[in-house]
Structure 1
Amino acid sequence: MKCVIGIDLGTSAVKLLLMNQKGKIIDEVSKSYPVIQEKAGYSEQDPQSWVEQTAAGLSDLLRNFKGNPEDIEGISFSGQMHGLVLLDENNEVLRPAILWNDTRTTEECRDIYEALGEERLLAITKNPALEGFTLPKLLWVKKHEPKIYEKAKTFVLPKDYVRYKLTGELHMDYSDAAGTLLMDISKKEWSKEICDILGIDEKLCPPLVASYEKVGNVTSEMAISTGLSASTAVIAGGADNACGAIGSGILEDGKTLCSIGTSGVVLSYESSDDKDFQGRVHYFNHGTPDGYYTMGVTLAAGDSLSWFKEVSGKDESFEEWMSDVGRVPAGSNGLLFTPYVSGERTPHADAAIRASFIGMDRSHERKDFIRAVMEGITFSLNESLAIFRGNGKEINTIVSIGGGTKNEEWLQMQADIFNAKIVKLASEQGPGVGAAMLGAYGCGWFPSLKECAAEFISVEKEFLPDPEKVKVYKALFEVYQDVYQATKSMNDKLVKFRK
């Protein structure tokens, strides 16, 4: 039977899924790599580690594959967004990649607003200037590392570089380009106006393609090293959030997704680019033909939980550490947590804000703190839903994916805080499945992504909101929303004391 491989290039690991035409996962592999954090606010990676670990993952898949390598017809990608990979005239990497969660570029964001004006930037890109985006990173290198910038011939995003090493071809897809702050998302082309005003050579921007387009085949060199066939088609792929949406069936108006990984995302499908959210949430091109999506981001979602486990239960499994959460009432006995351990994105684009526990007393036990962290992450995601609903979107059902689906107490918590039915899919590999679906569609297996979704996606379980807990959480959410303003000035003053 024919197969495709979906490659999800994440922040901490690359995950590879081998799927057949029935949407069944035949095999999966994960390979980790480190993040380089030289100082507070810095987050980088060595692009070579992505290539090496992806190649190692492909080799593992092919070693275990019982069929003919030529049966693997296509490969496609999902990738961490916004990361800057600078290449020289020989397409060699000039410096470590600056990642999406790097927050060193506050000054560059101000420069963008001063040069373009917030209103004009939103008109072109539909997004505000935030530290995580690619354009501020490009300007930072231009300002602070001019010799490196002078050598730059082009830039790409993380998955684009790995795809280049597989095919020898350089491209960027619309869904990822939308997160650079350099593309006119309505016209689907690089903005000459932005480039000219900010003094960026438009030739630095790579060719643009659709997420489902074939961009090449596996090179003979990569075929030999991994066991793949050189006839295997490589499909462009998309941004991790776009692929997560595709892999979760978010392919028409009214469909909404909650994804809890290192960061957290609430995403809703849009069939047009004419909504006006005033830059309060992101507005990006989808991986589907002529589709868009709005998105709010919690910068440290699962990362907040991982941090708290490191400091309170390092030697325990997650299951053991979280085992008593269900015995804690909604509201964690009056304990509240804001998940700003790395700053925040939506609705507060603030790199300086930091997390808080509010309401601690001697009666609180570790289980209260754990539940409070989970609730705080979910409250933060609910702020994005509140913006969507405030702009007239009706949201009754939400597909939940990512690490947050591994704990049923958390899924029920999402239903109660979001006041919506939560759907858990049979497969929790959203972005990887989305990448595989783009591969399948790009190879011509299905006439549309919707028909591909009908074959590849199935529901495992649903969680309905508890009316009594909905009331409790509605009141607590109002308190949660007060914490940001109450702690902002204090955190601004604490910045100089951080390492």
Structure 2
Amino acid sequence: MVFEVKEAIQNGNTVLGIEFGSTRIKSVLIDENNAPIASGGHDWENSYVNNIWTYSVDDIWKGVQDSYQKMAAEVKEQYGVSIQKIGAIGFSGMMHGYMAFDQQDELLVPFRTWRNNITEQASTELTELFQYNIPQRWSIAHLYQAILNKEEHVSSINFLTTIAGYIHWKLTGKKVLGVGEASGVFPIDINNKQFNDSMINQFNENVASNQLPWSLENILPEVLVAGENAGELTVAGAKLLDVSGELQAGIPLCPPEGDAGTGMVATNSVAKRTGNVSAGTSAFAMIVLEKDLSKVHPEIDLVTTPTGNLVAMAHSNNCTSDLNAWVGIFEEFSNAMGINVDKDKLFGTLYHKALEGDADAGGLLSYGYLSGEHMTHFEEGRPLFARSSDSNFTLANFMRSHLFTAFGAMKIGMDILLKEENVKLDEILGHGGVFKTEGVGQSILAGALNVPVSVMETAGEGGAWGIALLGSYMINKEENESLDDYLTNKVFASQAIKTISPEAKDVEGFERFMERYKKGLSIERAAVENLQ
């Protein structure tokens, strides 16, 4: 096995996927069988600078170089060879946000991430203009808000993209996006898999009085679908990615995608009536639709799969950040008591404890709003825990309430799809950090959505593996082979999968918790207004 992998690495029969997540940049190298053979990670955090959530350009490049070097070091340690050739590379990143560049390719303002809820006016006006939901975090909302704010940099814009598009551009010279990522920049015409021309015209007419020196279609990236070639790694790009200088230029790249699209790929949920939930710093459910929704819902994004099929997204800005912070408190306590506990064991113990709690978490209430939450109309957040004097305050219920609230905001959006729009789902695939502890996140989510939840053995690999699979599809697909068929037959055919069906008591318990959650939003509002 080691010899076969070594030979694949030497012959360049591998694919590399790199994803820029909110807290980690991860590199995953896969072999000819699409199995991960090496990985490397770089932990990072966004900064709150001048009321903007951002990552610096220096941090972006230091992070991707460190992640790549750690993956390459693992290859050398395990297989005794260095990486010089790769069959294909793909980049994925946090969707949406705002990276605007001038004609000299200089970043005009610090990167504005998806986490910023600063575009409410733009979001509202564009949704009304297009009769199509434009969430605050979408790139076009950031652009329009900057126009409304009369920001000086707007007249100098030459190119607008996302973090995945930025990395891809710098490494290939190509200003492109995969259609899934592009669908979080500006609405897509599902028929031709391109930006919606009529809406572009509406936008240009709407801002004409500002006499800007550009038209929208001229500053947006080109849109590509999964399987298309998106350029090659340049000599300068190879040196930028691999500071050791060993990686060769000329490697083909697949279209850069967003974390939502790579999550769909990593869970084999790109077909209609399938869906997946990604749960980490943020939580979002992606449901591949059989038909259009009956009306515009401000809580629901309409995006696409990497092949351009319509997807409804119920997205919440906050998921596990506050939960992780509480686990950190328990770790501090353990250390103070002279007990060194393995972090995985600590998470596992506390998560499993939650399964022992009351069905509705014993009357406890928490909000993990580290940042604003668009689903419940908060521009800022305050992590909050509250309970009544007669609540059942136990460790099990405490942990259960925090796992419940991790899915709370997303649940509001999913109720719109499942209860109001009667969207049909056969199952949900779960992936992301909250599902690493076997059975716990699955049980909680199954109860929340009243739908069977499945987790694959690769659930922890996440979007870096997903974008690697898109690279593999690009170079290995047969003529007319769809992405759905490629994934089902060549990637997931022998994949171990575990499914948990919802139990009536858990469904009822989560519904009771959500009644408390909705009523308690006034407490969260008071915290935002009074706790600085």
TM over 0.5: yes
Quick one: distance in 2 between partners of 1:48 and 1:271? 43
Question: Is 1:80–2:85 an aligned residue pair?
Answer: no
Quick one: distance in 2 between partners of 1:34 and 1:357? 24
Q: Are the equivalent residues in 2 in contact too, given 1:6–1:77 (CA < 8 A)?
A: yes
Mapping for residues 155-174 of structure 1, pairs under 5 Å: 155-174=160-179
Q: Are the equivalent residues in 2 in contact too, given 1:212–1:237 (CA < 8 A)?
A: no
Aligned mate of 1:9, from 17, 20, 25: 20
Mapping for residues 292-331 of structure 1, pairs under 5 Å: 292-310=310-328, 313-314=331-332, 317=343, 319-320=345-346, 322-323=349-350, 324-331=353-360
Counterpart of 1:213 in structure 2 is: 228
Q: TM-score, normalization: structure 1? A: 0.87
Which region of structure 1 is more displaced relative to structure 2, 467-476 or 297-306?
Answer: 467-476
Counterpart of 1:451 in structure 2 is: 485
Quick one: distance in 1 between partners of 2:313 and 2:127? 22
Q: Are the equivalent residues in 1 in contact too, given 2:448–2:510 (CA < 8 A)?
A: yes
Aligned mate of 1:196, from 202, 205, 209: 205
Counterpart of 1:95 in structure 2 is: 109
Counterpart of 2:430 in structure 1 is: 400
Shift of 1:392: 1.9
Q: Which amino acid aligns with 2:165?
A: D
Q: Are the equivalent residues in 1 in contact too, given 2:133–2:301 (CA < 8 A)?
A: yes
Question: Is 1:464–2:501 an aligned residue pair?
Answer: yes
Shift of 1:29: 0.8
Q: Are the equivalent residues in 1 in contact too, given 2:41–2:66 (CA < 8 A)?
A: no
Q: Which amino acid aligns with 2:346?
A: E
Shift of 1:68: 7.3
SS in 2 for 1:462: strand
Question: Is 1:22–2:33 an aligned residue pair?
Answer: yes
Counterpart of 1:176 in structure 2 is: 181
Counterpart of 2:257 in structure 1 is: 238
Aligned mate of 1:345, from 374, 387, 391: 374
Q: Deviations over 1:146-196 (max 9, x none)?
A: 333233211110011111121122222322222124655555225122133
Shift of 1:79: 1.2
Shift of 1:463: 1.8
- Note closer, same or farther for the CA distance 1:262–1:277 as it changes in structure 2 (3 Å cut): farther
Q: Deviations over 1:80-108 (max 9, x none)?
A: 01121111112122222000001222343
Shift of 1:415: 2.1
Q: Which amino acid aligns with 1:162?
A: I
- Note closer, same or farther for the CA distance 1:496–1:195 as it changes in structure 2 (3 Å cut): farther
Quick one: distance in 1 between partners of 2:464 and 2:87? 16
Q: Are the equivalent residues in 2 in contact too, given 1:182–1:194 (CA < 8 A)?
A: no
Q: TM-score, normalization: structure 2? A: 0.82
- Note closer, same or farther for the CA distance 1:221–1:204 as it changes in structure 2 (3 Å cut): closer
Percent identical among aligned pairs is: 17
Which region of structure 1 is more displaced relative to structure 2, 302-311 or 401-410?
Answer: 302-311
Quick one: distance in 1 between partners of 2:67 and 2:484? 29
Shift of 1:276: 3.0
Counterpart of 1:419 in structure 2 is: 450
Shift of 1:250: 0.7
Mapping for residues 225-264 of structure 1, pairs under 5 Å: 226=242, 227-264=246-283
Q: Are the equivalent residues in 2 in contact too, given 1:70–1:232 (CA < 8 A)?
A: no
Aligned mate of 1:275, from 293, 318, 327: 293
Q: Which amino acid aligns with 2:360?
A: G
Shift of 1:297: 1.1
Shift of 1:241: 0.4
SS in 2 for 1:43: strand
Q: Are the equivalent residues in 1 in contact too, given 2:323–2:402 (CA < 8 A)?
A: yes
Shift of 1:389: 1.5
Counterpart of 2:5 in structure 1 is: none
Q: Are the equivalent residues in 2 in contact too, given 1:30–1:57 (CA < 8 A)?
A: yes
Counterpart of 2:340 in structure 1 is: none
Quick one: distance in 1 between partners of 2:46 and 2:412? 29
Structure 1 stretches lacking a partner, 5+ long: none
Q: Are the equivalent residues in 1 in contact too, given 2:187–2:303 (CA < 8 A)?
A: no
Which region of structure 1 is more displaced relative to structure 2, 382-391 or 220-229?
Answer: 220-229
Q: Deviations over 1:343-371 (max 9, x none)?
A: 3233x344256555443337624543222
Shift of 1:244: 0.4
Counterpart of 1:48 in structure 2 is: 58
Counterpart of 2:4 in structure 1 is: none
